[in-house]
Chains A and B, each alone.
Chain A
Amino acid sequence: MAIARLDFLIGTMSAAAATTVTLPFANGTRPLEAFPQKRKLIVLTPRPPQLETPFSIFNEGVLTPNDAFFVRWHLAGIPQSVNGATHRIKVHGLVKRPLSLSVDDLRTKYERVEIVAVNQCSGNSRGLFSPRVPGGQWDNGAMGNARWTGARLLDVLKSAGLKEGAIQIRFHGLEKPVLPTTPPFIKALSIDDLDESMLIAYEMNGEPLPLLNGYPVRLVVPGWYATYWMKMLAEIEAIDTIDDNFWMKTAYRIPDTPGNTVTPTEKGYPTIPINKMTIRSFVTNVTDGQTLHPGAQTIRGIAFTNGERLKSVEFSSDGGATWRAAKLGANYGNFSFRQWEAPFNAERGKSYVLACRATAHDGETQTTVPVWNPGGYLRNVIETYKVSVA
């Protein structure tokens, strides 16, 4: 344990020099490695690549740098060379005018739109579930916040013209299964759920997307979990049924129960496809178990919603017994991380449990008891950080 702890501190304080980190759960040791177009990130799996952002990155700014942005692919058939000039996005199915759009078409024929939005893996924080569940064992770093630039999905659909009867839009990317028997990765959104914020993005933080984040274009679905943000978007297909492919009908399902939570032994409850994100907040300049210097200091963090206006972030230094309002930072829009800060006076020799709680304008707030579901989704418990002062 002492070794694991040391290893974690090295990873936090000097990521450039460390070769591994140990996340705070069993079997949590991970290599740190730089993949193409990426700095050293936490390697969950190398093939297909799943890379986690070290949490300290979130303290450095409201936007997550492209080379630090988390990576999650489902299938190992990822093109290692993509031609942004010849790539086409095919719009077909129940449309009046089928289209085959190049990236330049998207840039020149449609309005250029920007939005800052959080992209969070459905399974972010799965490793923190208790009891644990199988699946990708992420800590809290399978998320990032970027400025996305592209064409509105609705504008593209309008130019193709949906036919009567279309009820869902399916999205295909260039990611392919290794075996022909593996279901291809396809996701679908209901037409009723589409809105002006959704983009086909050709830029991420003002630059082309890194290949591992979906170069040359990916779908941006602000407020929704990243499973819908199709990378290397290649097909947009209007259909007249509720999509029943594996990735919608079987995988990525959440309990259709109050709070989308169940007990570990519960069976037979209805499920629905995962959809919008739950509200969350984190401290970014203190880690759990850290020893603080005594005296007046500022605790900093981030909060985000699924598009509702953020009403408040509150900070507690007594484990949530009492709360006080934190000061909110610059507003980058309702889908972005929002930075916050709160003053804190740490007395020498004392221990504290720091906590933060975000509340949206519609009243949604974080849970005091962690949600549990077998997929390991939607975690948004009030985060706590035990600190001592010396």
Chain B
Amino acid sequence: MKIFLLLAASAIVTVTLPRANVPFKPGPNVDLATANCRTCHSAAYVYTQPPLNRAQWTAEVLKMKNAYGAPIDPANVDKIVDYLLTQDGKP
């Protein structure tokens, strides 16, 4: 048993993680959301959030830009927020 565990612990473990294929739903500026958000994370990060208002979504986009280093053009921040607000239905 011990030998088995030693061997098992030294093994190469390879997995294939499911592809995050779920796209953003259609909406204004969906192309900007796809290009800027899905580089690092799946669309589920948006769809599982509670209904957020403009100030909260803006804070999230700026956090992605400033804290996580997402290369979001400053001119596109409001446009991405416009899109996000259409996605949870609570502007």
Q: Chain A interface (Cβ within 8 Å of chain B)? A: 25-28, 30, 33, 35-37, 43-49, 75-76, 78, 80-85, 103-104, 107, 127, 132-134, 136-137, 177-183, 202-203, 206-208, 211-212, 215-216, 246, 250-251
Contact = CB atoms under 8 A, between A and B. Distances in A.
Contacts of B5: 203, 206-208
A76 B12 contact: no
Interface in B46-72: 47-52, 56, 59-60, 67-71
Interface in B30-48: 39-42, 44-45, 47-48
Nearest to A34: B18
Contacts of A78: 17
Contact of B41 (A48, A80, A134, A251): A48
Contacts of A30: 48
B15 A84 contact: no
Nearest to A104: B10
Interface string B1-40: 0000110111111111111101000000000000000011
Contact of A215 (B13, B39, B50): B13
Contacts of B68: 179, 181-183
A27 B49 CA distance: 7
Contact of A137 (B20, B50, B71): B50
B44 A46 contact: yes
Interface of B is mostly: loop
Interface of A is mostly: loop
14 contacts: A27-B49, A35-B17, A76-B41, A81-B12, A82-B12, A84-B11, A103-B10, A107-B9, A127-B50, A134-B59, A137-B48, A177-B40, A183-B68, A251-B67
Contact of B69 (A81, A136, A179): A179
Task: Report the 6 A-B pairs with minimum CB-CB distance, sorted nearest first.
Answer: A181-B69, A36-B15, A132-B50, A47-B20, A81-B14, A85-B10
A47 B42 contact: yes
Given A216-B9, A250-B67, A45 B44 contact: yes
